[in-house]
Amino acid sequence: MIYLDNAATTFPKPANVRRAMNNAAANYSANPGRGGHTLAIRASEEIYKCRSKAAEFFGEDNPENVIFTLNCTHAVNIVIKGLLKPGDHVVVSDLEHNAVMRPLFAMGKQNVTYTVAKVSNTSADETLNNFREALQSNTKLVICTHVSNVWGIKLPIERITAMCHQYGIPVMIDAAQSAGIQKINIRENNFDFVCMPGHKGLYGPMGTGMLITPHHNKLETFMEGGTGSDSAHFEQPDTSPDKFESGTPNLIGIAGLSAGIDFVKSITTEKILTHEVNLLAYLYDRLSTNRNIVLYTPRPTPQTSGGVLSFNVKDTDSEEVASYLNKRGSIAVRAGLHCSPQAHRHFGTEEIGAVRIAPSYFTTMGEMNALAQILTKI
Name the residues that contact ligand PMP, by CB under 6 A. Answer: 8, 71-73, 97, 99, 145, 149, 174, 176-177, 197, 209, 339
Q: Note whether 67 and 82 are within 8 A (CB).
A: no
Nearer to ligand PMP, 149 or 161 (CB): 149
* H or E element in which residue 80 lies: helix 72-83
The dihedral through the CA atoms of 208, 213, 216, 219 has a sign that is: negative
Nearer to ligand PMP, 343 or 372 (CB): 343
* H or E element in which residue 87 lies: none
Cα–Cα separations (whole angstroms), residue 370 to 165, 359, 362, 364, 377: 47, 13, 15, 10, 11
Q: Note whether 100 and 76 are within 8 A (CB).
A: yes
Nearer to ligand PMP, 195 or 372 (CB): 195
Q: At its nearest, how many Å lie between ligand PMP and the CB of residue 91?
A: 17
Q: What is the rounded distance in angstroms from the CA atom of residue 97 to the CA atom of residue 74?
A: 13
Q: At its nearest, how many Å lie between ligand PMP and the CB of residue 264?
A: 16
Nearer to ligand PMP, 356 or 375 (CB): 356
Q: At its nearest, how many Å lie between ligand PMP and the CB of residue 343?
A: 8
Q: At its nearest, how many Å lie between ligand PMP and the CB of residue 353?
A: 14
Q: At its nearest, how many Å lie between ligand PMP and the CB of residue 247?
A: 18
Beta-ladder partners of 309: 357
Q: What is the DSSP string of 200-264?
A: STT---TT-EEEE-TTGGG---S-----SSSTT-SSPP-STTGGG--S---HHHHHHHHHHHHHH
Nearer to ligand PMP, 198 or 329 (CB): 198
Nearer to ligand PMP, 8 or 43 (CB): 8
Nearer to ligand PMP, 170 or 198 (CB): 198
Q: At its nearest, how many Å lie between ligand PMP and the CB of residue 297?
A: 16
Q: Note whether 173 and 155 are within 8 A (CB).
A: no
Beta-ladder partners of 228: none
Amino acid 39 reads L
Q: At its nearest, how many Å lie between ligand PMP and the CB of residue 232?
A: 34
